[in-house]
Structures are given as C-alpha cells and as structure tokens.
Structure 1
Amino acid sequence: MKRLVSTILALSLIFALVGCGNSNDDVSTSSDGSELTTLLYGAPSTATSVTVWYALQQGYFEDYGVDLQITFFNSGTSINDAARAGEIDLYSLGSMMSTTGATTFGSQLLCYLAPDNAAYRVYARNDSEIITSGQGHIEKYPNIYGSADAWKNSTVLWTKGQSGHYTINAILEMLGLTSDDVTSIDMEQNQIPAAFAAGEGDVMVAGIPNWNEFEADPEHYTMVASLDELYPDYDNIATIMACPDALENKQEALKGFAKGVMRAQNEFANDDDLFKEWMYIWQSEYNVDVTEESAANDCAFYKMPTLEWSRQYFEGGEDSICANGFMKIAEFMNSVDQMSDEVFAEYNADDYIADDIILAALDELEAEQS
C-alpha cells in the first residue's frame, strides 16, 4: 500500500508539472474500456483525507467516470498556490484558506469533507514559560495558558495557512501581540509531532492525530488551547474546493468526484467499524504513529455526513446551512484582519458554493440507493 501511495504521488507530480490541470482533454480508459476524465486533487496529509482514500481504493471514482490523481502538499499555502497556478483541479483545505482561495481566484466549494473545529489543539511543554505563567491572562478565555510576556519571543511550530495558524494568531491578538512577536516554523503536519517531541519549538499546533502523543503524556505536556474552545460557534470544516478551469470544463467529472466522496461518507456514517478500520489503514499509510485505538478515537472528531444530512446542509441557496456557516467564517476572518473590509463588503458565500453540482450528485446517489 505504501508503494501505491508513492506511485500516486509520483504520477500526480508529473501531471502537475506538465500542466495537465488546464486541459479539457485529460482522458484515460478504465479496465472495462469506459472513458475516464482525469482530475488532479491536491490533498493534505491529514486524517480528513481518509474518505477520498477509501473511495479511491474502492473504485468509486472510476465508477463515476473519474481518473483521480492525488498530490500531497505540506501546507495550505502551497495548495492554494498550486490551485491559483492551475496545476490542480480540486483541493482540500480548512474553511479559512478555502475562503481565501474562493475570494482571490474563484474556487468553489464542492464537498463537505469533515468537521474540523475540535481537531486543532495547541500544546506546550510543562516546564515552558507559557505553561508556568498559568491561565487567566485572557479574560474572555480564562482556560488558555500563557501571559503576553511568556508568548513573546517563543517559537511556534505550525503549518502555515491551516486552521492551527489562525488559532495561534487569535491567541496572540487577544494578548496584544502579533505573529511578528513570535518565531514561527512552517512544517508539514505530520512532521510537527516528531520535531516537537525532539525539543524543537516552545509550542506546537496541529490537527488530530498529530497531538495524540502529547495528550497521552500529561506529565510532560499540557494543552494550551483548542480551536473549538476559542470559537465554539465557528463552523470550521475541512472542504474540497473546485478550481475555476475544472468548474468550466470538467463539470461531469466534478459531479462524479462528489458522488464518490459522498458515497464513501454515507458508508462511514452508517458503519462505525468500517470507518475505524479505514481510518487506521489511512493513518498507517502516511506514517502517523497510530494504533487501532487511537484511530478509533480520531473518528469521534470527524463525524461523517449521511446523504440526508448533506442535502439539508447544502439546500437553500443563500439561506443554506452551508452558506450561513461560511458567512460566519468571513465575519471571523474580517474581525482578525484576514479579510479586508472591501472584500468582506462584497462577499456572498453562496457565490462560492457549487451547489448545482452538489445537489445533482445527491439526486443521482439517492436514485441509485432507492
């Protein structure tokens, strides 16, 4: 299986380098002779990719006319850069980076991948100044550790542009600091735990399962804060976004991709054991120090949507649950200077949701299962 991951990575990188993401002639043939449209997918090496990986292994994308090529990236910024350059057709990011891509180069939400709020946590060593300075320095969030003096000049391990980055920025802002007051080291998510455990950095922020070992070792590490603690009403999700060229030239393939993802999600939602099994398989693939128990624990953070839930989430246009959630994201980004007043004034979340493709995919999936 690891050899297969390497093969997919190598092939997808070759395709990206020759610019296949811009062509409407990306076709291949399946084993039964049917025509497939190639989609280049930029993915993070995180637990949220389990659904796409499972659907790929089950052949669901081929079932719906898609030859999916996956490229794994080490940061949200690099994914957005590849999308902006037209090197990929679709990609996965958290809500904030997805919103940045939507407003800067016109990508649209194609799939709800997983809830992502509770997944991001900040940890520090127990002997660090951030922990020894105690809690209560932020009146609104008294459980967060660290005074302004303790945070200032600290070294933070994060993945630039992902939700953990914004979590740290929010803490710093509430302490009267900025990112210029700390030293940040941008790392791939699955590199952060080993670096932090080896003594690098004063504080780290990462998504599950990359903080599991620190949560399990309270003698040496303490959770400083979590994204859901800071923003309990903030509907941060892992998304799959479609790039403008694919939206124009590969709509049928995008619909097929959405069908494959939602079919897999529905199976996971209705079979906990299947979800746990494949979370373990997937995390083993990308070299996370995983056990069956830890994989099962991670599944609790990523509740999968059923087809019925997805319809309720996406239906309603500007009044949909999805559009309202992304309006809250935009409000938050504007409040912390991650979206300008000018962009926010023009922002309409429904303009960046491919709900016509999504709802058509749901119609076909429901018809298949009736």
Structure 2
Amino acid sequence: MRRRLRKWFCLLLSLLLVLGTLTACSQSPEKTGNNGVAGNSGKEETGKEEAGIYDGIEPLETETELNFGYLTGSHHGMIIYMIDKMGGYEKAGIRANIETFGNGPVMVEAMASDSWDCGTIGLGGVLTGVISQDMVVIGAAARDYDSLRIFAKNDSDVVSAGNTLKDYPGIYGTADTWKGKEILIPTGSTLHYVLSTGLSKFGLSDTDVAMTHMDVPGINTALRANKGEIGALWGSFTYADEMKENYTVVMSANDLGIELPTVMCANPRSYEDPAKYKAIKKWMELYFATVDWIYSSEEHFDKAVEMFTEINEEAGATGTLEENRTVLENNRHYSLSDNVKLFNEKTEDGSMLLIEAMHNDPLLFYIKNGSYQKGDDTKLLGGYFKADIINEIAAMKE
C-alpha cells in the first residue's frame, strides 16, 4: 500500500512540474518597437521605487499607438527610451515604437512620410522642420551647450597654434591654420552653427573651409579610425577617452557663449489629431515625471547614467559610464517649471524666451549661409511654438 501511494505521489509531482513548465513557456513575448528593441514593464529590472515614478499619471481612456523619433546617442532622446524601459508607456496606455536618426534634418525628412508622431530634436531639426514642414515645437527637452564640440588631431597645426583669441581663450588656431581645412560635420545642424560662429571669430566663413557632410555616428567612427583631421561631435561621443588621447577640443558651444536648447516636437498631422494629441500630452507628462525622478537623488541620477549607457549600446553608440555621466551632468534636462517659463515669459521686445534662443543669431546664420531664404525667419515666429500642452499639464499640477 505504501509503495502504491509513493508511486501515485511521484506521478502527481511529475504532472505538476510539467504543467508548471508549460505555463512558463506560454507567457506572452515582450513588445518590440520598430527599432527591434524589446519593451518591458520595467518592474523586474528597475525595482519598486523606479516602477512607482508614474503612479500619479492617469492612463489614456483608449490605448493609442505613438511613433517616436530621436537622435542616436542624444541625452534629450534618452528619456523617450527610459520611459519604455521603466514601463511608463504600458502604464499610460501608449503603444510605443521608437526609431533613431543620425541628425535632425534626416529625422525631419522621415516626418514627411509620417514615420514619427513626436520626439526630441535640436536646432537644425527645428529650423528645417518648422520652415519646410510645419513641425510643431511643444516643449523644451534639454540644454545642449557643453557637448557641441569640434575636434582636431593633436598634431594638427590648428592645435599647435594654440589659443590666440583673447576674448575666446578656449578656441584654438589662427585664420591661416583654419583656412582650407576639411571638416567632417553634419551640415545644417547645431554643430554647423558652432563651427560657423567659431570661424567668424577669425574673420572666416564657411566658404573658407571644406565641409564634408556626415552623420555624427559616422564622424565618431572615422575619427576613432584616425581618418579625419577635424570633425564635429555631440552627446556622449565627445567625452570618450579615445578622443582625449588623439584629439583636442578646438571649439565648443560653451567656449563661444552659445546656449542652445533641444526641444520636444510633433508632426503637425499628429498634433491636430485628437487621439494623438492626448497621447502626446501623456508622453510629455511621462517625460517630466522621469526628469524629476532623475534629479531627485544621487541614487536616481546614477541609475539614469546606467540606463543611458545601456540605451546607447543598444543603438550602437557605445560609451562608458563616466562619459555618459559627464553628458548628463553638463547638459541638464528642462523641468516642467522651466518649460512654463520658456513658453510664457517674454523678452523686452515681446518674444517668447524659447523662440529668442533659436531665432536671432542662429536662424540669421542659416539664412546668410544659404540654408534658408529671407522671410523664413518670419515663419519661425508664425505660431509653430505651441504652449498649449505645457500649460495644460501645469494646470493639472496646481
């Protein structure tokens, strides 16, 4: 009898083990965006504290699909991915697809075919998007001052000339050493503006150098392979140890006193669609909640650095924890309160603060260099900077 009971017990135990295995194997697979990277709830990876970031955000009444766009390796775009990794989209009722681009103008081109609904972008993308495709600027994403840098080989005569400008002690070279140089750079971008501004301090213009258009990831690869004398980089690429060993920063936005914000933007067709509008607004709530969480403690900041590094690796933009930490330390994201100020406070001449930062010198530079035509500057002032969502979210917080 005991032998028979032992036999039935073994059979029952085996059956339970088989059922447990089948149940585990039948779990639904992770969601995957169109960039091929799986999304997740974030609860297992980030822990209870991180998973609670979005507890105060009400989900959409109807689940809505949103396609996001941002620039590879960008600190402003990393928030889009962090929200996915920490389960924010799932919690808010957004089906997120995320796509990365090499530079702003390329991202704008993709908007023409409705490849993305919203995302983050820099000055070059703002000007191209607003002027050519009625793109809507809906928020300020992050500061973009410190990591906009022009590098030259350590043995370049630009470097050996040293710092020759009294008013700009961080800039290297002379008019003679810069003239005729080939420079790897994404033309029409914020880096182009930095270069042109720097050259002007020597009495030079873009026509005095030879600009070779390349995306920043490609420039990074070329410089690391020792295939370019001078190249322009942004984001975490600028803090790599390999760059410090072989190259010198000969110009930067900081050295020139240039302060450029990156922004949140929307496809105009998505912005006008009622369901998409609600989803974009929900994304911005998630964005600001994530920013607040990052800067609320040193522990959270450390976690954000780790996630930024993981995100870059998944997108093919490798970098160390220390390099990515420097990016986030020197290029802080804008909070909701920052946005309320930038969109609602005016300059002495009545301009929106955010528009003022992008309009005068930057846009006039692009017009002067033939990227845009006279009259395009008035379009930038024509109502494409929308404070609606910012003010609606702010009102909800009161």
TM-score of the superposed pair, with normalisation by structure 2: 0.75
In structure 2, how many angstroms separate the alpha carbons of the residues matched to 1:117 and 1:215?
Answer: 21
Q: State the alpha-carbon separation in 1 of the partners of residues 265 and 103 from structure 2.
A: 15
Matched, 1:353 2:381: no
2:123–2:358 contact (8 Å) kept in structure 1:
yes
How far off is 1:151 after superposition?
2.0
- Of stretches 254-263 and 278-287 in structure 1, the one that deviates more from structure 2 is 278-287
Aligned position for 1:15: none
Q: How far, CA to CA, are the matches of 1:83 and 1:319 in structure 2?
A: 35
Deviations 1:332-367 (A, max 9, x none): 124424354423356427x22221122223334x37
Q: How does 1:129-208 map to 2 (within 5 A)?
A: 129-136=157-164, 140-208=167-235
Q: How does 1:1-370 map to 2 (within 5 A)?
A: 8-9=34-35, 35-48=62-75, 49-136=77-164, 140-213=167-240, 217=244, 220-230=246-256, 232=257, 234-249=258-273, 250-271=276-297, 272-316=301-345, 323-338=352-367, 340-345=373-378, 347-348=380-381, 351-364=383-396, 366=397
Q: State the 1:204 CA deviation.
A: 1.3
**Matching residue's letter, 2:193:** Y
Q: Deviations over 1:159-208 (max 9, x none)?
A: 23321122112223443444344333333323322311212121111113
Q: What's the offset of the Cα at 1:158?
A: 1.9
Cα displacement string for residues 233-283 of structure 1 (whole angstroms, at most 9, x for unaligned residues): x43112121111011112112111211211111111213233223223223
Distance 1:225 1:318, change over 3 A: closer
Displacement of 1:115 after TM fit?
0.5
Question: How far is the alpha carbon of 1:320 from its aligned partner?
Answer: 12
Task: Confirm or deny: 8 A CA contact 1:148 1:175 kept in the other structure.
Answer: yes
Aligned partner of residue 41 in structure 1, secondary structure: strand
Q: In structure 2, do the counterparts of structure 1 residues 319 and 353 end up closer, same or farther at CA, with 3 Å as the change threshold? A: farther
Aligned-partner Cα distance in 1 for 2:196–2:391? 36
- Give the root-mean-square deviation of aligned CA atoms: 3.2
Contact 2:105–2:129 under 8 Å retained in 1: no
User: Closer, same or farther in 2 for the Cα pair 1:324/1:150, shift >3 Å?
Assistant: same
Question: For 2:305, what is the secondary structure of its paired residue?
Answer: helix
Aligned to 1:20: none
Gaps of 5+ in 2: 1-29, 38-58
How many matched pairs?
A: 339
3-state SS of 2:63 partner? strand
SS of the equivalent of 1:185 reads strand
- Against the structure 1 CA distance between its residues 193 and 309, is the aligned structure 2 distance closer, same or farther, given a 3 Å change threshold? same
Whole-angstrom CA distance in 1 between matches of 2:191 and 2:172: 16
CA contact (8 A) 2:150 2:252 kept: yes
Aligned residue number for residue 17 of structure 1: none
Counterpart in the other structure of 1:14: none
Please give the secondary structure, in 2, of the residue aligned with 1:127. coil
- For 2:65 and 2:349, the matched residues in 1 are separated by 31
Please tell me the residue identity of whatever aligns with 2:83: A
Amino acid at match of 1:94: G
Aligned residue in 1 for 2:23: none
> Which SS does the other structure have where 1:204 is aligned?
strand
**Offset at 1:140?**
4.6
Aligned CA distance change for structure 1 residues 325 and 228 (closer, same or farther; 3 Å)? farther
CA distance in 2, matches of 1:320, 1:274: 42
Q: Tell me which structure has the larger Cα radius of gyration.
A: 2
Tell me how far apart the structure 1 counterparts of residues 110 and 141 of structure 2 sit (CA, whole Å).
Answer: 20
Q: State the SS of the aligned residue for 1:209.
A: helix
**Residue pair 1:313, 1:321 contacting (<8 A) in 2 also:** no
| 1: CA distance, partners of 2:326 / 2:194 | 22
Q: Secondary structure at the match of 2:240?
A: helix
Cross-structure match for 1:22: none
| Alpha-carbon distance in structure 1 between the residues aligned to 2:156 and 2:163 | 13
Matched to 1:112, the amino acid is A
**1:279/1:322 CA distance change after superposition, 3 Å:** farther
Identical residues among aligned pairs (%): 20
Tell me how far apart the structure 1 counterparts of residues 210 and 138 of structure 2 sit (CA, whole Å). 35
Please state how far the C-alpha of 1:330 moved relative to its aligned partner.
1.0
Q: Could you report, residue by residue, the CA deviation over 1:309-337 in whole angstroms, capped at 9, with x for unpaired residues?
A: 34334344788999223223210124424
TM-aligned CA deviation for residue 65 of structure 1: 3.2
Change in CA separation of 1:61 and 1:151 when aligned onto 2, cut-off 3 Å = same
AA of the residue aligned to 2:388: D
Say which SS state the counterpart of residue 138 (structure 2) adopts.
Answer: strand
